[in-house]
């Protein structure tokens, strides 16, 4: 499919190193959830954390997307994955300023008009706070269950992004693609954000980096270590120069575990902890690379401790973060 050149939609002011986080409880993968989440936590805990982020000046709160997890990966992924649109719609009514993001929504799983309708509605209901984070997906059995060809997921994802953009920007969108073809159909409500809600791309492989360069307003890396970040950013910008000169995608980083202060318990190895200044210095290295948004992961033993850490970061660390602009 021919790549579609279009300008980026930027939501982070120049020089600002913004931050957000993925919410607890919504998904109970053993790989990413804390023990306390799997031991009796509930919706009230997720709401408390979202409200703490809202009060602490977090750019966004994020949720992930799986529809039906096959038995084998479910041994580690679990099967609790709250629907992202329903969850963010619920949280929209309980927060005021923090943006509502998917990290990430697998756009290949459904018709792009359905995706556009859901997220335009969410944007309207939330007063313009949506960030649509999208990804190609990775669970082959889930694609099989939904009747979507796994091997073609990259092409389908690219086309879905183009079709969603068409529907976000025009009440009467036109899209003539390989998988979907539509015209003469209208969609309301319209998104509040103009020209449209931003679309950030998740993933760290070469196809994902090319997708960021060609189609993304931002990048959400998945597991890229600090040492490989400069090379990944350079790859995005090289491909950007070839297919979309002048576009400046927001560059993200999923952080090491963070703990503001000196922990009195064994936090995960390689965590960033200690004084606020020490944490500022650590994340300043990322800002100097051109990273514009951090997805924070806090070490915590309870929802209450997590909320305390969020408040401490927002008060003592966040105001001192900055970054350089990418050319």
Q: What pLDDT is attached to residue 7?
A: 87
Q: What are phi and psi of 60, to 5 degrees?
A: -150, 160
CB 209 within 8 A of CB 215: no
CB 289 within 8 A of CB 230: yes
CB 258 within 8 A of CB 22: no
Residue-number span of the structural domain to which 129 is assigned: 18-320
Q: Count structural domains, the chain.
A: 1
Sequence-distant (6+) residues with CB within 8 A of 125 are 89, 92, 93
Whole-prediction pTM:
0.96
Domain CATH for 291: 3.20.20.30
In a domain, 9, yes or no: no
Q: What pLDDT is attached to residue 2?
A: 43
In a domain, 6, yes or no: no
Work out whether the CA dihedral 29, 33, 38, 43 comes out positive or negative.
negative
Instruction: Give the distance, in angstroms, between the CA of residue 114 and the centroid of all CA atoms in the same chain.
Output: 19
Measure the CA–CA gap between 28 and 36, rounded to whole angstroms: 10
Using a 10 angstrom Cβ sphere, with 0-12 exposed, 13-18 middle and 19 or more buried, the burial of residue 7 is: exposed
3-state percent helix, strand, coil for the chain, nearest multiple of 5 = 40, 15, 40
The tens-digit pLDDT sequence of the chain (327 residues) is 444 568 899 999 999 999 999 999 999 999 899 999 999 899 999 999 999 999 999 999 999 999 999 999 999 999 999 999 999 999 999 999 999 999 999 999 999 999 999 999 999 999 999 999 999 999 999 999 999 999 999 999 999 999 999 999 999 999 999 999 999 999 999 999 999 999 999 999 999 999 999 999 999 999 899 999 999 999 999 999 999 999 999 999 999 999 999 999 999 999 999 999 999 999 999 999 999 999 999 999 999 999 999 999 999 999 999 999 887
In a domain, 286, yes or no: yes
Q: What angle do CA 201, 228, 31 make, to 5 degrees?
A: 65
Q: What pLDDT is attached to residue 10?
A: 95
In a domain, 1, yes or no: no
Measure the CA–CA gap between 68 and 74, rounded to whole angstroms: 9
Q: What pLDDT is attached to residue 4?
A: 52
In a domain, 273, yes or no: yes
Sequence-distant (6+) residues with CB within 8 A of 20 are 53, 58, 59, 60, 61, 62, 98, 99, 101, 293, 294, 295, 296
Q: What are phi and psi of 20, to 5 degrees?
A: -150, -170
In a domain, 265, yes or no: yes
Please name which of 171, 214, 162 lies closest in space to residue 191, comparing C-alpha atoms: 171
Residue 265 has which token pair?
A: 């318990």
In a domain, 26, yes or no: yes
């Amino acid at each position: 499919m021919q790549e579609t050149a279009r300008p980026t939609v930027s939501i982070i002011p120049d020089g600002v190193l913004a931050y957000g986080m993925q919410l607890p409880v919504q998904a109970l993968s053993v790989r990413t959830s804390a023990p306390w989440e799997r031991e009796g936590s509930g919706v009230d805990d997720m709401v408390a954390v979202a409200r703490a982020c809202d009060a602490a000046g977090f750019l966004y709160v994020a949720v992930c997307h799986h529809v039906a997890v096959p038995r084998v990966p479910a041994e580690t992924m679990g099967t609790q994955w709250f629907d992202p649109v329903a969850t963010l719609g619920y949280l929209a009514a309980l927060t005021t300023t923090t943006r509502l993001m998917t990290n990430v929504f697998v756009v290949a799983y459904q018709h792009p008009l359905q995706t556009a309708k859901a997220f335009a509605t969410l944007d309207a209901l939330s007063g313009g706070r949506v960030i649509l984070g999208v990804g190609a997906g990775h669970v082959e059995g889930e694609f099989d269950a939904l009747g979507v060809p796994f091997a073609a997921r990259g092409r389908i994802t690219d086309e879905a992004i183009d079709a969603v953009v068409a529907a976000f920007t025009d009440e009467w969108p036109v899209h003539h693609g390989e998988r979907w073809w539509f015209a003469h159909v209208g969609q309301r409500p319209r998104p509040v954000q103009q020209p449209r809600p931003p679309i950030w791309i998740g993933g760290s492989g070469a196809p994902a980096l090319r997708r960021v360069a060609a189609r993304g307003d931002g990048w959400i890396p998945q597991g890229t270590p600090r040492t490989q970040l400069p090379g990944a950013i350079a790859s995005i910008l090289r491909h950007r120069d070839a297919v979309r000169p002048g576009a400046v995608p927001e560059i993200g980083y999923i952080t090491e575990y963070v703990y503001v202060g000196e922990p009195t318990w064994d936090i995960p190895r390689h965590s960033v902890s200690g004084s606020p200044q020490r944490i500022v210095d650590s994340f300043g290295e990322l800002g100097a690379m051109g990273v514009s948004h951090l997805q924070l992961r806090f070490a915590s033993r309870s929802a209450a401790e997590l909320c305390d850490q969020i408040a401490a970061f927002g008060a003592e660390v966040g105001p001192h973060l900055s970054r350089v602009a990418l050319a």
